[in-house]
Amino acid sequence: MNRLEKLPDINYAGDKMDLNGKTALVTGASSGIGKEIALQLASRGMNLVITARNEEKLQEVAGSIREKYGVNLDVRIIPGDLIDPATPKKLFEMTKNNNTHIDLLVNNAGFGHIGDFEKEPYDKSYRMNEINMVALTSMCHLFIPPMLEKGEGGVINLASTASFQPLPYMAVYAATKAFVLNMSLALWEEYRERGVTVMALCPGHTRTDFHKTAEFPEGKIQKEIVLEPDVVVKGAIEAFLKKEPLYVPEEQRSFLQFTLSKFIPLKKRLGMTADIITRGFPKR
């Protein structure tokens, strides 16, 4: 384990963002990390707009937020499928028409797939690109300008530890997350002096429905470091409040991945990563 390289102290505009009474929009809030983000932001007094495809699950999330943190919080549900290019605009228009300013945008919705590239269903691969990258970028385009106008705000984009290197057998997923990481870091720099923090959240394995959706073989992540969503989210919100550009949970900052790998020749590195990913795959 190793700490990531510490960034030099930099001047930011404004104080630490006070979340209490402000509003966050969380995509993919019906389960896993997104649901936990909604719960923890509510515990800090934030009003919420939560979205995903499964309206019933969103109702359950809203119900437990109201039960736990009181009826004074405003929790709004806007169901939507981010594969539809009209959905980001619909979310933007609906919050605007309701005079709701989004102070914090959490682009969490996303999914992955493990296996041979040529066997990845065409449709699944296409949807992965659309949701993980295109919809996320549209959401940033729409919701950041009003934050800049106010001189305060934030975006948390869900990247992954998969963002940091090519992943054979998760080629598309890792590439979408590399996109998210790079765009977020670039925007962090563009906006840091204008009061808006854009942070990439890069968890490793987290106990959610992710692995089932991605078709991981049974038991594949048993020997890996798997964190609970509440641990990942607690650290992420603290890092965001410190205006960090990037957050990887401490337990998942691997010395091999972040430090040693820089000294391993590319071809060797690709082979090593392929071996790690295919551990537990049926023999060919």
Q: Where do contacts with ligand NAP occur on this chain (CB under 6 A)?
A: 27-28, 30-34, 52-54, 57, 81-83, 108-112, 131, 158, 160, 203, 205-206, 208-210, 213
Q: Could you tell me the smallest distance in angstroms from the CB atom of residue 140 to ligand NAP?
A: 14
Q: For residues 34 and 235, which CB has a smaller minimum distance to ligand NAP in the complex? A: 34
Q: For residues 32 and 153, which CB has a smaller minimum distance to ligand NAP in the complex? A: 32
Read off the tokens for 76.
Answer: 């709004």
Q: For residues 154 and 204, which CB has a smaller minimum distance to ligand NAP in the complex? A: 204
DSSP state for residue 77 in the 8-state scheme: E
| Segment (H or E) for 155 | strand 153-158
CA distances from 87 to 80, 131, 276 (A): 6, 11, 37
| Segment (H or E) for 177 | helix 171-191
Read off the tokens for 181.
Answer: 């990481």
Torsional class of 87: left (φ above 0), alpha (ψ -120 to 50), beta (otherwise): alpha
Query: SS3 for 219?
Result: coil
Handedness of CA 44, 155, 74, 53 (dihedral sign): negative
Q: Could you tell me the smallest distance in angstroms from the CB atom of residue 277 to ligand NAP?
A: 14
Out of 122, 126, 173, 191, pick the active-site residue.
Answer: 173
Q: Could you tell me the smallest distance in angstroms from the CB atom of residue 116 to ligand NAP?
A: 20
Q: Could you tell me the smallest distance in angstroms from the CB atom of residue 153 to ligand NAP?
A: 21
Please confirm, yes or no, whether 173 is among the known catalytic residues. yes
Q: For residues 87 and 278, which CB has a smaller minimum distance to ligand NAP in the complex? A: 87
In the complex, residue closest to ligand NAP by CB: 32
Read off the tokens for 227.
Answer: 């964190």
Mind telling me the catalytic residues? 173
